[in-house]
Structure 1
């Protein structure tokens, strides 16, 4: 699995994912508009029996809804194309997560596009929206959220309960991630699943998350934590899913450089899953 990040993936791959996303969201918008229009057209004849003006009132409501869908679509489209923070950027990301993504998955299934490709395109576009929307934060306001499968499967250290148990032997990416924590002062945590990840987020209340996971966990995590911005980095899986995975540390570090405010004091903390945050 390739790491999905606008900074290190081949430009052709990134453009292809953006084209897929834009294409699906365009068709989704059209389907929604046609559906809303049918809500007016289908009962058009029968509404006269209720009141002569009933069909026009319903028509005005449908047109207003179509207008909102189109405004949301064009706002999101321009945000993706220009890569600049537009007014209402957070709302556009929310519409993508809550409204367009489920419809795009259904549409993709209907026309034979694999869900994996749709999720990858969603993560790629989400990252661009986060880069356009998010500002810079103190290190203690940023959380590096890692999956437990980054730990070497033959290691007998229980890092999911106390990340400081790591002896930094270098046999897995955890040593490098701990070095990034020490260097930049950001929070670092390992999650064994979605429930634990949500508890860590509630516990720490970060303003930004840089999350590493497979495309399924990243997609669900981005949806679960909205409106909190999540920049997703796909893990690499040379041994298959959930076993001795790895991550591009230069990409993670580059993102830290993008999101950390250099003028704010270093106040990072390392937390361990299931325990209270430690200063």
Structure 2
């Protein structure tokens, strides 16, 4: 496990709690300031607004504490299984704004979000048949020198071994899962609509994984970060054993299949970026 993994988790919990408290303070402010003049409209107006704001504060605190406890304990807590979408679509944008105010980079926020999302998906998602899993890949895994177009049909690959696509096809054939390459969010969403998976194992950078997790909710997405030895979007790589470990974890009977790139010690607990602890 990478040394900075625990710090990512602490960063996410800190930003989550800070964002939740900031939203609660804002709601309390919204109630306090107008209440001075609301009594002139109707004597009960300040109380009505106060009850609405109090209910909103309770909901925000419940979501904040439930998610924070779930992240800290690595298991569902206070109904957090229903809050993954709230985390992705509501808290993440607010956390990004809050992080900017305290001078924390967007990339660190995304990295911590992916780690936490992976832990929640691994804890909450079940086991699936091969046809219910989609492995979604970025086009930058293909060699920039390759002349064969793989976006619409990855099987056009000639399997020369010059890029990770050969190994990815080997995984697809060994485990029977759907596999596809997308050049952007629009094509990725179209592939998801066509395949109708129950689980997505996605390979991408922090930015694309974050947006993909948000776009495909409520479908669970387990993210595997790609390696970028040549910079972003050019001849990227992926740790195939990490990706295979994720497939074996989520597939029904996956742990008893003959591994392609294994063995995988400690398979019962997945590494947040796609491998094993």
Return the alpha-carbon distance in structure 2 between the equivalents of residues 29 and 87 of structure 1: 16
- Alignment of 1:254 with 2:254, yes or no, is no
Corresponding position of 2:11: 20
- How many aligned positions are there? 255
Structure-1 separation of matches of 2:76 and 2:53:
30
Following the alignment from structure 2 to structure 1, what is the Cα–Cα distance between the partners of residues 83 and 70? 8
Partner of 2:83: 92
2:196 paired with 1:205? yes
Partner of 1:193: 184
Q: CA RMSD in A?
A: 1.4
Asked whether the 8 Å contact 1:143–1:187 carries over to 2, the reply is yes
Match of 2:263 in 1: none
Contact 1:89–1:133 under 8 Å retained in 2? no
1:235 aligns with 2:226: yes
Looking at structure 2, the residues matched to 213 and 167 of structure 1 have their Cα atoms a distance apart, in angstroms, of: 23
Aligned match of 1:275: none
The partner residue of 2:47 within 56, 59, 75 is: 56
Which of 129, 136, 148 is 2:127 aligned to?
Answer: 136
- TM-score where L is the length of structure 1: 0.88
Residue of structure 2 in register with 1:33 after alignment = 24
- The aligned residue for residue 5 of structure 1 is none
TM-aligned CA deviation for residue 90 of structure 1: 3.5
Report how far residue 52 of structure 1 moved: 1.2
Deviations 1:89-122 (A, max 9, x none): 3322111111111111111112211111111111
Partner of 2:172: 181
User: How far off is 1:216 after superposition?
Assistant: 0.8
- TM-score in terms of structure 2 length: 0.89
Structure 1 residue 87, shift from structure 2 partner: 5.9
Q: Is the 8 A contact 1:89 1:129 kept in 2?
A: no
Deviation at 1:140, TM superposition (A): 0.3
Partner of 2:269: none
> Is 1:119 aligned with 2:110?
yes
Instruction: Output one character per residue of 1:173-219: Cα deviation in whole Å (capped at 9) or x when no partner.
Output: 11111110111000000001111000000000000000001111111
Q: 2:64 aligns with which of 73, 78, 92?
A: 73
Mean alpha-carbon deviation: is it higher for 201-210 or for 161-170?
161-170
| SS of residue paired to 1:153 | coil
Measured in 1, the distance between the counterparts of 2:91 and 2:47 equals 28
Relative contact order: is structure 1 or structure 2 higher (C-alpha 8 Å, sep ≥ 6)? 1
SS of the residue corresponding to residue 219 of structure 1 reads helix
- Are the equivalent residues in 2 in contact too, given 1:211–1:230 (CA < 8 A)? yes
User: In 1, Cα distance between the equivalents of 2:212 and 2:206?
Assistant: 10
